[in-house]
A = this chain, B = another copy of it.
Amino acid sequence: MKTIQSDNYPIFFDNSITELVNFVKQGNYSRSFILTDENTGVHCLPALKEQFADMDNFDIIEINAGEESKDIDFCIGIWKMLIDFGADRKSLMINLGGGVISDMGGFAASTFKRGIDFVHVPTTLLSQVDASVGGKTGIDIDSIKNIIGTFTQPKAVFIAYDFLNTLPARQILSGLAEMLKHGLIVDKAYWEALKSSDLSKPSVELVHWSVEIKNKVVIEDPTEKGIRKALNFGHTVGHAVETNSLINDKTPLTHGEAIAIGMICEAYLSHKKTGLSSAELEEIVKVISDLYPKYNIKESSHKALCALMLKDKKNQNGKINCTLLTRIGQCNLDNICTDAELCDSLSYYANL
């Protein structure tokens, strides 16, 4: 697959691990730090270590898997390990893992000694199509997602499609939600292609296409002043549902499962407010409902969910701001939604 050129950095698809080794060797780094989690440590790290066999100047920093790890306390742990390992400004951070690893590793690197180089090796479908592209880094505080972060570009991204073979089906579905979103907001042809594919394991071509769409959007608007807000479709409701689930559920929703719910709610709001047709609303609901299990949102939690939406980064002046669709493949930015409208959309989902 063709290498995609992003904002001053390449996104490799072919021979990615070999390309990574070349990058590290040519970069003349004083030391490399591979940030990984316990899962990736088992499934993906050995392949990397094999390739790094003739290098001795790297260390491994392993954290617990899961969104709970994307907290400032774990980030402090990473900073302290970098200090203890003697990292200097010519060190490199290699983020090997899913979105938690790339978001937090990117943040830790972008602030360590006021910024060291980092690259992403995304190992989940979600991080391949979403977290690894666009230069957003972030950590959570008190379960508020990505409340602290920077806009900093990686030096390169190495997408190793084969790592997806190690993923459980639920993790594939988690990434798929962002791929569906890419079609819904700006590319109807991609939405159609997804609809007619076997989505239990999306092909590398579909992954590549998804990265191309996201890359095009973020290059146009790296700091989210305009069109990049399109990517927030499904995320106003979705992030709140995800945070609420992280706090209350024994087995929390994945990011994609929460965004799938968010996309149904916000497609409903799009029908009410920005002219999405009934037929397209039904189509969206059917595609998503066929893929994702139904989640029980109690009416008693509506208020808490709206309170969470109010804390969302995207808001201004205490008003909840949504990206909505006008039709499949086209969106409309900056729609203020009231608590009543948002509760209504949650009820719509509950009554499906």
A residues sitting closer than 8 Å to B (CB atoms) are: 30, 72, 76, 79-80, 83, 86, 88-90, 107, 110-115, 136-138, 141-142, 144, 146-151, 223, 310-311, 313-318
Contacts and interface: CB of A to CB of B under 8 A. Distances in A.
Given A30-B316, A114-B150, 15 more contacts: A72-B76, A80-B142, A83-B141, A83-B142, A83-B311, A86-B318, A88-B315, A88-B316, A88-B317, A90-B316, A110-B150, A111-B148, A111-B150, A113-B148, A113-B149
Contacts of A80: 141-142
Given A76-B72, A148-B111, A89 B141 contact: no
A231 to B, nearest CB: 14
A163 B112 CA distance: 33
A171 to B, nearest CB: 26
B316 A89 contact: yes
26 contacts: A72-B72, A72-B76, A79-B147, A79-B148, A80-B141, A80-B142, A83-B141, A88-B313, A88-B316, A88-B318, A89-B313, A89-B316, A90-B317, A110-B150, A111-B111, A111-B150, A112-B147, A113-B148, A113-B149, A113-B313, A114-B136, A114-B223, A114-B313, A115-B150, A115-B223, A150-B150
Contacts of A310: 86
A107 B107 CA distance: 13
Number of this chain's copies in the assembly equals 2
Contact of A317 (B30, B144, B223, B316): B30
A142 to B, nearest CB: 7
Given A86-B318, A318-B86, A141 B313 contact: no
A146 B217 CA distance: 35
Nearest to A314: B89
A145 to B, nearest CB: 11
A72 B107 CA distance: 14
A89 B318 CA distance: 11
B89 A151 contact: no
Contacts of A311: 83
Contacts of A150: 110-111, 114-115, 150
B83 A151 contact: no
A136 B310 CA distance: 32
A113 B83 contact: no
A107 B83 CA distance: 19
Contacts of A107: 111
A48 to B, nearest CB: 24
A83 to B, nearest CB: 6
A79 B147 CA distance: 9
A76 B141 contact: yes
A149 B88 contact: no
A110 B152 CA distance: 12
B313 A83 contact: no
Given A112-B148, A150-B150, A141 B79 contact: yes
Nearest to A76: B72
A107 B111 CA distance: 9
Nearest to A31: B317
A30 B321 CA distance: 15
Nearest to A73: B76
Contacts of A114: 136-138, 146, 149-151, 223, 313
